[in-house]
């Protein structure tokens, strides 16, 4: 062999060192390569009890492939919560909308599902930005005004500062996901446009006082109609005006004008109330005086007519019997004159006999009245005694 030395120094010749530094007659022996390969094959066979490495590798690959396919098929199982809707797309195209519950779709990349919350109330702020956290329909913390959105022109050509909130939710998940690129900005832009249109038809006094609720209702109705026309799948729950005031630079002057107008209306109402009170009374008083005058005229006319007729009748009787008529007229006149006067009668011829010629006619008349009505007199005396 080429490595044998001529002097017998090679390892086969018995005297030279071997390739691993040993000598053929003793020391370390070189490893057996065939033995190493055999031991390696035995160890590999012990790992595959069902045969040699070729048959075991095929079955293992098959099992691994089945496990991977099973996991791939099981990846299509998904759950939709009660407040969600599922959008199942097949190769990127909408295939169906699923309701809450346990569902299945073909695994990726054939089908995919997107879960959209449809009961959550979303909030869009126009004219301001909240610095705090939104809780329900209220906002905690301070707010920052956005003048480009808040300043609007009213129907009477005044400027008003309006902040409002739009509360909305998803009505149709399919329309919301596939018909609109940016739903939130779309709702915000449409709400601002609708509010500017409504405010542009409303006077500033109405927009800042009693007309606020009417503006909210009109804005909600028109905004919902616009969302339907756009096909956004958005439902508008409510539009809330947070602020509706003149700009801060002129708000003090505006309030002075409002107070002056309120005072003017108050004075006008008081004047109208006074007029409504005094005019009917004056008209009633005038009507009363007119009726009294007419009644007096009729009374005087009737009395004059009766007196004239009576005079004519007396004149006729007087022409027939002058003495009798004259005496009758005298007696009737004296009766009328002396009827209500206290009278004392003195008989002249009896005055010389020592008897006072006095006849107490009033006293006699009083006693006669008491005799005609004794009960009232007794009651009167008893009442006077009780009073004493």
Is the pLDDT score of 84 beyond 50?
A: yes
On whether both 126 and 229 belong to a single domain, the answer is: yes
On whether both 271 and 187 belong to a single domain, the answer is: no
pLDDT band at 22 (very low <50, low <70, confident <90, very high): very low
Q: Flag whether 360 is in a domain.
A: yes
**Residues pairing with 90 in the sheet:** 93, 111
Is the pLDDT score of 169 beyond 80?
A: yes
pLDDT score for 354:
56
On whether both 144 and 215 belong to a single domain, the answer is: yes
Give, in order, the Cα–Cα distances in Å from 41 to each of 31, 49, 56, 61, 193.
17, 13, 14, 20, 82
* Rounded distance between C-alpha atoms, residue 314 and residue 320, angstroms: 10
296 vs 117, residue with greater confidence? 296
Q: What is the mean pLDDT of residues 129-148?
A: 62
122-126/93-98 β-pairing: unpaired
Q: Note the pLDDT tens digit of each residue in 341-358.
A: 776 666 666 555 555 666
How many residues would you count in the chain?
A: 388
On whether both 132 and 65 belong to a single domain, the answer is: no
pLDDT score for 317:
82
Q: Flag whether 208 is in a domain.
A: yes
* Rounded distance between C-alpha atoms, residue 229 and residue 192, angstroms: 17
pLDDT score for 27:
47
On whether both 205 and 238 belong to a single domain, the answer is: yes
Tokens standing for residue 318: 């007087």
Domain CATH number, residue 164:
3.30.479.30
* Rounded distance between C-alpha atoms, residue 267 and residue 272, angstroms: 9
Instruction: Report which of 189, 148, 182, 144 is spatially closest to residue 166, judged by C-alpha positions.
Output: 189
Q: Flag whether 31 is in a domain.
A: no
- % of the chain residues with pLDDT over 70: 74
Q: Is 213 exposed, middle or buried (0-12, 13-18, 19+ CB in 10 A)?
A: exposed
pLDDT score for 331:
87
Q: Flag whether 5 is in a domain.
A: no
Q: Flag whether 52 is in a domain.
A: yes
Q: How far is CA 8 from the centre of its chain?
A: 118
Whether the Cβ atoms of residue 65 and residue 90 lie closer than 8 Å to each other: no
pLDDT score for 45:
59
260 vs 20, residue with greater confidence? 260
Q: What is the mean pLDDT of residues 7-21?
A: 43
Lowest model confidence (mean pLDDT) among 189-193, 272-276, 336-340:
336-340
Tokens standing for residue 101: 């519950």
- What are the DSSP calls for 232-270, one per residue? --EEEEEEEEEEEE--TTTHHHHHHHHHHHHHHHHHHHH
Give, in order, the Cα–Cα distances in Å from 318 to each of 194, 322, 327, 333, 362.
105, 5, 10, 16, 35
On whether both 365 and 383 belong to a single domain, the answer is: yes
pTM of the prediction? 0.50
Lowest model confidence (mean pLDDT) among 32-36, 227-231, 277-281:
32-36
On whether both 209 and 135 belong to a single domain, the answer is: yes
Q: Structurally, how many domains does the chain consist of?
A: 5
* Rounded distance between C-alpha atoms, residue 300 and residue 307, angstroms: 10
* Rounded distance between C-alpha atoms, residue 116 and residue 83, angstroms: 8
**Domain termination residue (choose one: 249, 279, 301):** 249
**In 15-91, which ranges are E strands?**
77-80, 84-90
57: containing domain: 38-72
Give, in order, the Cα–Cα distances in Å from 260 to each of 210, 248, 329.
18, 19, 80
**Residues pairing with 79 in the sheet:** 102
Query: Mean of the per-residue pLDDT values for the chain?
Result: 77
Q: Note the pLDDT tens digit of each residue in 257-313.
A: 778 888 888 999 999 998 888 999 899 999 999 999 999 999 999 999 998 998 888
């Amino acid at each position: 062999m080429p490595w044998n030395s001529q002097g017998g120094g090679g390892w086969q010749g018995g005297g030279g060192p071997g390739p691993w530094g040993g000598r053929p007659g003793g020391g370390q022996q070189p490893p057996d390569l065939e033995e190493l390969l055999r031991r390696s094959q035995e160890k590999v066979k012990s790992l595959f009890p069902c045969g040699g490495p070729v048959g075991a590798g095929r079955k293992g690959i098959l099992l691994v492939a089945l496990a991977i396919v099973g996991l791939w098929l099981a990846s299509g199982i998904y759950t939709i919560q009660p407040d969600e809707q599922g959008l199942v797309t097949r190769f990127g195209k909408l295939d169906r909308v699923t309701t809450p519950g346990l569902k299945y779709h073909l695994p990726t990349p054939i089908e995919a599902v997107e879960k959209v919350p449809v009961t959550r109330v979303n909030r869009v702020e126009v004219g301001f930005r909240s610095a705090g956290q939104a809780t329900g329909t209220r906002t905690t913390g301070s707010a920052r005004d956005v003048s480009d959105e808040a300043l609007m022109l009213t129907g009477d050509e005044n400027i008003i500062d309006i902040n409002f909130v739009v509360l909305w939710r998803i009505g149709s998940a399919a329309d919301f996901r596939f018909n609109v690129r940016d739903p939130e900005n779309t709702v915000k832009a449409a709400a601002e446009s609708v509010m500017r249109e409504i405010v542009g038809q409303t006077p500033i006094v109405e927009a800042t006082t009693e007309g606020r609720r009417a503006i909210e209702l009109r804005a909600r109705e028109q905004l919902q109609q616009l969302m339907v026309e756009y096909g956004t799948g958005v439902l508008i729950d409510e539009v809330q005006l947070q602020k509706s005031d003149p700009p801060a630079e002129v708000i003090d002057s505006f309030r002075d004008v409002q107070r002056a107008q309120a005072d003017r209306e108050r004075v006008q109402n008081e004047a109208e109330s006074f007029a409504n009170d005094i005019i009917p009374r004056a008209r009633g008083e005038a009507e009363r005086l007119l009726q009294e005058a007419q009644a007096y005229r009729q009374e005087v006319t009737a009395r004059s007519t009766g007196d004239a007729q009576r005079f004519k009748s007396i004149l006729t009787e007087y022409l027939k019997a002058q003495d009798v008529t004259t005496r009758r007229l005298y007696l009737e006149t004296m009766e009328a004159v002396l009827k209500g006067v206290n009278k004392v009668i003195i008989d002249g011829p009896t005055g010389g006999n020592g008897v006072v010629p006095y006849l107490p006619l009033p006293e006699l008349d009083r006693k006669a009245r008491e005799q005609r009505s004794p009960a009232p007199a007794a009651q009167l005396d008893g009442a006077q005694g009780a009073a004493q």
